[in-house]
Each structure stands twice: as structure tokens, then as C-alpha cells.
Chains A and B, each alone.
Chain A
Amino acid sequence: MISKLEKHSYMIGIVRGMMRTGGHFIKNLLRITRVPTIQYPEQRRNYSNRFMGVHILTKKPGGDIACTACMLCATNCPAECIHIVAAESANPKVEKYPAVYEIDLLRCVFCGFCEEACPVDAIRMGRDYEMAELSERNFVVGIEYLMDRPALKGKNISLFHEPEKIVKVEPKQERKIA
């Protein structure tokens, strides 16, 4: 036989849970603690410098695409989301260039391996993270978006072609243990 007390023992848990909820409610209401909620989109969170968002394809100073279609990014990509069709360039000094460069942002895992594989700094991880589209196929983005989207303001020049801009950072000295 279960006693009446045992039967209603779940009430203890409920009361404790409600106290926790009510406690937070009162704390937030009276602003006793810092509230983690922000007023997006007026307010925005600051992401770290290492944050990896939508990719950027860089340009040469003249405005041509810096990518040479070597497909190392596609080879290194664990999600197989990069699709490149190489073609013969009209410019005799260039030889090979990507006629099609597409990234499927829904397949991409934003690991940044493409950036690491690139020998000419042609692809970088950008900082854009707001991605919303009405159709799935709109997430397959091409050169036009990756290289010339307005958010980049045309500043995406490949460091391979502007070596003077490379900043060498001395590695920080390791903290000595006394």
C-alpha cells in the first residue's frame, strides 16, 4: 500500500522547481543579475576575431578573381560543398580560372579548411552570419555573391597580390612558471 504522503511526494519536486523559476523571474524583473538577452537586431553580439562566417572570394588588385581553380579547397572540404568548374582564361597570363565557383552554404560546416588549403589567399572565412532565404537553392552561392556582395565593400584583395599588407605577429612569450 502506498501511503497518501508517498503518493503526493512529487509535489516536493514541483515546488522546488517553481521556486527556482520564480527566483529567476524576480531577479530578472528587479535587474538584480545581468540579463543575457540582447535586443537583436538593434543590438548585436560581438563575436571573436576567429569567428567563421560566410566565405569571401578575394580579388586581384585589378578586380579579377584571385582563385586559380586548383581545387585544393574542394579536395580539403570535409562536407564536399564546393563545386568548381575550371576553364581557360582569355587572359594569357592567367591560364586557368574558375568559370563556376559554388558553395552550398547548407552543406558547409564552416570549418575553415578551405581557407587553410588555399595557396593564394583566394578564399577566406568572412564574418557574415545572417543567412536567411526563402528557397534551399538560394543557399548555393556563386562567385557574384562570394566576391562582390555589397557587405565586402570591394576590400577583399588577396594578400598573395598585396604581400606588403601581411602583418607578422610575433608569437606571445609563454608564461613562465615560477
Chain B
Amino acid sequence: MAKITINGKEIEVPQGKNLVDAAKDAGVDIPHYCYHPGLSIAGQCRMCLVELEGNPKLQIACNTKCSDGMKVHTNNEKVESAVQSSLEMHLINHPIDCPICDQAGECGLQNYYMQHGKYNSEMHEEKVHKEKVVDLGDHVVLDKERCILCSRCVRFTQEVSKTNDFGIFQRGDRSTIGTYGDAPLKGNYQLNTVDICPVGALTSKDFRFEQRVWFLDETDSICGGCSKGCNVSVHHKKGKHVYRLKPRTNEQVNGFWMCDKGRYTYKNSNYDKRLTHAQLGGVDLPHDEAIASWANDLKVLIATERPEEVGVFLTPHMTQEEIGSIVEHFAKTLGVTKFFSEDIEKLSKDDKDVDGLLLRSDHYPNSKGFLKLASSSKIKIQQVEDLVSALQKGSISHLILFVPEGDKILPAMTRIAQVTRPDLFVVAISPQSSAVELFPSALTLPSLSHYEKTGTVINHAGLEQKMAGGFKMFKESFSIQEIVEQLKVKSTESHQRERAAR
């Protein structure tokens, strides 16, 4: 441990810790553009200049390691004027087109200009104009004018994604960022360059002009794209529309990054794909009535002691709490024995890194938790083919499907739909309509999408992580715990009514 003094305040930090990070922990914000804790040190932007006692000149904090007895000043006149001049230099050729820039609201230039701006321009020369709206493949748009040449994206593609896409070309004030031969970006980690860009030079194509960032609310969640369990924050507007996902820092899981495939999983939450009302045979009906008709059919089977005729299909695209409530009610209370799923054990066993960075082959976010719950509550999970043969034999007369969001479940659902007799009582509970449409006569109930859920998921390494959720896009969609609870209430209600009738 080393004792350092920042602006007269003594703090204790690990020996050799980066000064920008150490100051941040102590509540002192040292402005910086090029420094990023996940990348190497470049020392390009000269924004993090601080005064170290004993040094005749100002030093950059990002390339300074904390050592015992170090005395740092970040807010005296000398430092302030140096930072102001650095920022002034960054703004010489910046187009200041904030009104049409997607970064506005979370832009490093805007933020630091409010604190360290020199408000009157001293430049009489025309700004250097560069290319705008350069298409860099499927995900990213580049605006060369807005770039301040911090080289974060260059270092990211060299050090993290190893795709070596970006480089700095030309010299002096004509220096521009770009790709070699204007080639599109490669790999599955392109949008991280948009996240780390401190200005609006790299912007996301998907989010382009969709919304101003100051309208967005943030909710912490866990990515539902694979078993890695990357920490994300969901950006939505008043819980009515999800606009994008951004990675949250978690050194244990994803570091600072996330993959592009994971980023687009938010689309499953939005209106165009969602099931919004309970339906019976394709016709909307009130949620209460739907639950009641489900409870009535289930009650007959339980009353005549035929729980083995009930089949439940579920997947690990659910939180621990949701799977727990299903197991609790169907297996323990009602005595249902037939549970089906895809081959989760195989998926979990074969789970491996796809690209050596984050993405994993198991596309379910909670396979480990699913297997853990199944073994702890001693439930035998059968395969899709077992369900198909049981349906063909006719040994199932009440089928409950917990269908997850996304397209990866469609082959299994199509297989089940092929052998489903039209007179079989099918309840399909899903956030999305695509898989449910395969069962035209089914009773369908809308449930919450992944990012609306509150609960726990267990990632590939056995790490339990919480999803905050808490926003609800459609009034009539409920979490699976709530749906199971409503089912319980309805079954006891109908019991009481019968008893009263007797």
C-alpha cells in the first residue's frame, strides 16, 4: 500500500495503481479521453495533466503509477489552464454538430467543456473538413470530423478484438481515423468501439437517430444471449421501448466489453415481436378468463388423479425464481412428473468459448441454474423426442409450454407442433408470438421478456447474478411466478365455488 495526497487529502492506494483510477476512487475526477482501464496507455489527449510535487512540469496522470509519498494537485491554476488549453486544441477542428450527433448527452467533449471550456474561440482559420457518414460495415458509422484522435478504437482492435481494423492516417491537423482501405469492420465486437469512443466519431448504426440519450432510463440486467452472463445496462424510454444495451463493467465476467450478438438481443423485448394479450385459438380474451379456463382443465386431471397426463416443457431462458415456482407448483403440489426440455446437459457440457473472448456456444443464460434446480428437486428432465413420442402415443392430454424468446427454439417447437393433435389442450406461455403461432388452437399467455425480468441467473462458471428488471412494457404480460400464482388462486377459487354449490 502507498500513501498519496490528492489535493491535500491523504488516501491509501495499492502501490503502482494508475493515478486516474486512484483519484476516481477518492472522488476526484481527472478529465481524460485516451485513457481506458481496459486498454494500454497512449498519452495522446493530454487532458489528464496534473501537478506532481517535485516535478518541474505537469505530468499525465494516466501514465503515472501511485507511489508512496506522492503529492498530486489536480485543481490548481496551473493544471486548470493546461487542461483548458488541451480541450481548446481538441475543439479547433471539431465541427460542433451536437444537434445531429447521437453522442450528444454522453459526449466527453460536452461534459468537459462545461467544466474546463474556454468559451471564446481564438481561432480565425477555417476548420479542416473531413469525411462524414463513412459506412464501416453492418454496425458502425464513422464521422472523421468529430474524431479527436484519442486512438482508443485503434488500441481496442489491436489489443482486445485483435481484428486490427483501425489506424490513424495523414499528418498534423489532417490526421484522420479510418480503416485500412476503407474496409468494413470485422468480428463480433465492433460496437465496443462505439462505447469507448469519447466523442461522436463512431456511432452505432442500430441506434442512429433513434433517440436522444438524455431521454433514456437505465436498468441493470444480465445479457440473455449466451451462458457468459455479461453485465449489461438496458436503455429504455420509460419502460415502453428498449433502445439499446450497453456493457457494465464486471472484471469477473465480461470486463468492459460485450459482443454484438448479445447487444441485439434487446430486440426481442420490443413491440413488433411481442405477444400482448392472452389468446385462445387466435382470439383475444381477458387474462382472468384465460387463467380460469387453464385452471379448469388442469383441475379435472388432478381431481381424477391423472397428473401423469400433464406435460411441461421449459427451457433455461428463465430466472431461478421462475423455474423454482414452476417446479414448486407443478412437481411438488400437483405431482406432475413429465418435464421436457432441450438437451440442456449436453449443451452445458459442450459449452465452450466460441471466439476466445466472450461469446459462448450455449445460447441459454441460465443452463447451470436449470440443471442445479432440476437435480436438487429430483426432477427428471426428458428430451424433445420423448415429448414427441409421448404425444404420438397420446399419453399426454394437457401440455404446458414455457416458450422462450428468440428464434433458436423454433425447430424444437415446430417438431412438437407437427405431432400435436388439434384437440389437445395446449397452454403456451411466451413473451413472443413467433413460436406460439405454431399452435393455432392453443391458449396463449404473454409473459415478460428477458430484460423486463427481475431475478437471478447462474452463468457458465457458476456465478449467481441478479437482474434488476422492474419495467413492464405491456399491461397484460406477467412474469412466470405471477402467472403460476394466478393459476393457484384460480384453482382454489373454483374449488371453493364448487364446495359452496354442494
Contacts and interface: CB of A to CB of B under 8 A. Distances in A.
B212 interface: yes
Interface string A2-22: 000000000000000000000
Given A69-B209, A87-B209, A95 B214 contact: no
Contact of A70 (B100, B208, B210): B100
B138 to A, nearest CB: 15
A81 interface: no
A83 to B, nearest CB: 12
Given A75-B214, A86-B209, A88-B209, A96 B100 contact: yes
Interface size class, chain A: 10 to 19
Contacts of B99: 68, 70, 72, 96, 119-120
B133 A92 contact: yes
B132 A95 contact: yes
A144 B115 CA distance: 42
A123 interface: no
A75 B237 CA distance: 13
Contacts of B100: 68-70, 95-96
Which secondary structure dominates chain B's binding surface?
loop
A86 B104 CA distance: 15
A56 interface: no
Nearest to A92: B133
A147 interface: no
Contacts of B214: 75
Contact of B133 (A68, A71, A72, A95): A95
B208 A71 contact: no
A71 B132 contact: no
Contacts of A96: 99-100, 209
Interface in A36-89: 68-72, 75, 86-88
Nearest to B143: A95
B95 to A, nearest CB: 11
10 contacts: A68-B99, A68-B100, A69-B100, A69-B209, A75-B212, A75-B215, A86-B209, A88-B209, A95-B132, A120-B99
Interface of B: 98-100, 104, 132-133, 208-210, 212, 214-215
For the complex of A and B, 6 pairs with smallest distance between CB atoms: A70-B99, A86-B209, A96-B100, A71-B212, A68-B99, A68-B100
